[in-house]
Amino acid sequence: MATRSADEIFKEFKEHSVAEFFKRNRQMLGYSGKVRSLVTAVHEYVTNSLDACEEAGILPSIYVKVEQTGEDRYRVIVGDNGPGIPQNFAGKALATILSGTKFNRYMQQRGQQGIGAAGCTMFAQITTGKPIHFKSGTGNGKAYECNISIDTLKNKPIVENMTPITEDFHGSEVAAEFGDVKYENSDKSVYEYLRRTALSNPHLELRFVDPTGAESTFVRATDQIPQKPKAAQPHPLGMTINDLLDMAKVSANNKISAFLTESFSRFSQNKLSEVKGIATGVDFDKAPKYMTWADAEAIIKAIKEVKWIAPDASFIIPIGKAQVEVAVKNILNPDFMSVVERKPQVFRGGVPFIVEAAVAFGGQAGRSSDDGQRGSLMRFANRVPLLYDAGSCAITEAVRNLQWKRYGLDMETQPVSVFVNVSSVYIPYSGVGKEAIAQEEEIMFEIRLAVMDALRGVQRYVSGRKQASHEMSRYKLIMRYTSQLASDLSDMSDKDKEAIEKNLRELVEMHYPKVRDTLNGKESDEGAEEDGEYTGNVEDSTGQEGS
């Protein structure tokens, strides 16, 4: 057998760009399966629009249009009224993988890796050979449009036909054509993705035109703009040796001691002394850039031995109980709902998070399948709907073994929607596709408590409903006999039948005041009903354990 030397073999040594890598591993970015790929593209653009509006403090109005241009080929247009992208950044933002304004921030935003937009450009290009079209205005009278593609070998943008536009345009609009995609109406579709986005973003006004030209509008349910995300400092307990070293290398501080107290939350002078007392082998006066692995290891070990104040959760922005109620009412219009917002908790020792849960019953809640109504679980991470990879997600796993029947519910046959949103500066996704939350024990525990709490609210309603319909049938049964009884009594006593019947009816009504009120058109708290038709009385749980 002929042998080859290392020199010969290494003549073929090559380097790849990150863009080349993702081109070959597009499923890692969510581009696998035709239906899912289309949802992924819409998701990337819509989350960018929402992030941009939030950061700029603008109430978002987003427009999404999906047009069919051929077999398995669709054009996606997403427009927003956000801050826009300055002309000289357009190429980098939309056609350089791993670039963006959110990279390496410790801040609650939907995007964080700088992969989304350029991933879309690349997917458009590899399936149609076409660049994307981009139009933007930053509000200073300067607007432009251009075509953008990506040089995958170099991971560099190619910007062509840059043209100024006179139109007074504020915001961004991308138009990208994709092949190997498909529009479908299902619970994993673009429509469902947008409906859930509207649900978790009640401040959003969203217009959608589907490939048949049908238009849906999700109206804004509140004018309250969510708080602007703030950059947070990491808590010492959430750090690994490697994280600490990475941060030390780029620190501008002169001393490790100052680097620690200035870069982390809760790292007071007192805590510094305690850590110094334990990590005695470390020189805290040297510059952080000279920190060694052994130094970092000793510091992390000391950190674990010190008692810390819990991380500051004020920079986590949940949707908020009142806003979830408004949103659920707006989109699902249920007969009943129960909403719970839990207090901040911590996972991996130092990363704070907040869980919100809602259970809605009736109205547009649940989903219809071929064999009738069913319950549906809606998962969200930082308000972003998660449609895929349900099986591996912490949310699915946390509610998997809940005893729904104990709460009077049946997910197999009833119109129930269970909504769970996990908010954090750092969501531990279980894959690059970001469709499932990793099964961290603390997170799953919180989700379970939140959903159980919401279920208790529903249980009160369901049992009230059962009670009410029971009373109603007794009432009707007894009333049926009053007329006969009145005429018998009248025969025996020679008294007026009408008067006797009136008295009898009053007696029965006195025994069933709730039924009487319902029949008189007065809504009672329990929501009594006639003929099984419940008329929209929305009540929430007091969420005692939840707040």
Ligand X SMILES: Nc1ncnc2c1ncn2[C@@H]1O[C@H](COP(=O)(O)OP(=O)(O)O)[C@@H](O)[C@H]1O
The correct pick among 82, 91, 116, 363 for binding Mg ion (CB under 5 A) is: 116
Between 228 and 480, name the residue whose CB sits nearer to ligand X: 228
Residue 111 found at the interface with Mg ion (CB under 5 A): yes
Which residue, chain included where needed, has tokens 């929402």?
A: 50
- The Cα 56–Cα 463 span in angstroms is 46
Does 80 bind ligand X (CB under 6 A)? Our answer is yes
The C-alpha atoms of residue 111 and residue 438 are separated, in whole angstroms, by 17
CB of 51 to ligand X, least distance (A): 6
Question: Which x/- pattern, by CB under 6 A, does the window 29-68 give for ligand X?
Answer: ---------------x---xx--x----------------
CB of 116 to Mg ion, least distance (A): 3
d(CA 494, CA 542): 56
201 touches ligand X (CB under 6 A): no
Q: How many residues does the structure list for the chain?
A: 547
Between the alpha carbon of residue 336 and those of residues 289, 415, 457, 472, the distances in Å are: 58, 11, 9, 20
Contact indicator for 437, 388 with CB cutoff of 8 Å: no
349: closest CA among 231, 230, 233, 234? Answer: 234
Determine, following the binding rule CB under 6 A, whether residue 83 of this chain makes contact with ligand X: yes
Distance in Å, CB of 249 to ligand X, minimum: 23
Q: Least Å distance between CB 218 and ligand X?
A: 18
In degrees rounded to 5, what are phi and psi of residue 15?
A: -115, 145
- Stretch touching ligand X by CB under 6 A, among 78-86, 123-131, 147-155, 501-509: 78-86
Can you tell me the distance from the alpha carbon of 152 to that of 366, in angstroms, rounded to the nearest whole number? 43
Identified binder of ligand X from the candidate list 101, 333, 373, 537, rule CB under 6 A? 101
Q: Which of 30, 41, 54, 82 binds ligand X (CB under 6 A)?
A: 82
User: Closest distance between ligand X and the C-beta of residue 137, in Å?
Assistant: 11
Q: Which of ligand X, Mg ion, none sits in contact with 351, Cβ below 5 to 8 A by type?
A: none
DSSP per-residue codes, 126-195: HHHS--EEEEEEESSS-EEEEEEEEETTTTEEEEEEEEEE-S--EEEEEEEEEES-----STTSHHHHHH
Residue 113 touches which of Mg ion, ligand X, none (Cβ within 5-8 Å per kind): ligand X
The amino acid at residue 477 is L
Q: Which two tokens stand for residue 232?
A: 């947070």
The distance of closest approach from Cβ of residue 110 to Mg ion in the complex, given in angstroms and rounded to an integer, is 7
The DSSP element (H or E) to which 377 belongs, if any, is strand 376-381
If one asks whether residue 112 binds ligand X (CB under 6 A), the answer comes out as: yes
Cβ-based nearer residue to ligand X, 95 or 247: 95
Half-sphere exposure of 308 (CA within 13 A, CB side): 23
CB of 199 to Mg ion, least distance (A): 20
Which span (46-54, 155-163, 327-335, 388-396) binds Mg ion, by CB under 5 A? 46-54
The token duo for 26 is 């597009």
Select 99 or 265, whichever has its Cβ closest to ligand X: 99
The region of 48-56, 192-200, 419-427, 452-460 touching Mg ion under the rule CB under 5 A is 48-56
Q: How far is the CB of 84 from ligand X (least distance, A)?
A: 6
Binders in 368-427 for Mg ion, by CB under 5 A: none
Q: Which CB, 62 or 331, lies closer to Mg ion? A: 62
Count of CB atoms within 10 A of residue 242's CB?
11
Indicate if the alpha-carbon torsion angle 183, 184, 188, 189 is positive or negative: positive
10/391 Cα distance (integer angstroms): 43
Given the rule CB under 6 A, which of 79-87, 257-265, 367-375, 491-499 is the region that contacts ligand X?
Answer: 79-87
To ligand X, the closest distance from the beta carbon of 44 in angstroms equals 6
Of these, 48, 81, 189, 323, which contacts Mg ion (CB under 5 A)?
Answer: 48
Interaction of residue 238 with ligand X, rule CB under 6 A: no
Q: Of these partners, Mg ion, ligand X, none, which one is at the site of residue 93 (CB under 5 to 8 Å by kind)?
A: ligand X
Cα separation, 410 vs 376, whole angstroms: 11
- In terms of Cβ atoms closer than 10 Å to its own Cβ (0-12, 13-18, 19+), residue 124 is buried
Strand partners, 23: none
- Residue with Cβ nearer ligand X (51 or 210): 51
179 interacts with, out of Mg ion, ligand X, none, CB within 5 to 8 A per kind: none
Number of residues that bind Mg ion (CB under 5 A): 3
Q: Which of helix, strand or coil describes residue 359?
A: strand
Binding pattern to ligand X, positions 138-177, x when CB under 6 A?
----------------------------------x-----
The partner in contact with residue 323, picked from Mg ion, ligand X, none with C-beta cut-offs of 5 to 8 angstroms by kind, is none
CA-CA distances (angstroms) from residue 171 to 22, 78, 115, 161, 476? 29, 11, 21, 19, 61
Q: How far is the CB of 115 from Mg ion (least distance, A)?
A: 7
Binding site for Mg ion (CB under 5 A): 48, 111, 116
Which residues of this chain interact with ligand X, rule CB under 6 A?
44, 48-49, 52, 80, 82-83, 85, 93, 100-102, 111-118, 172
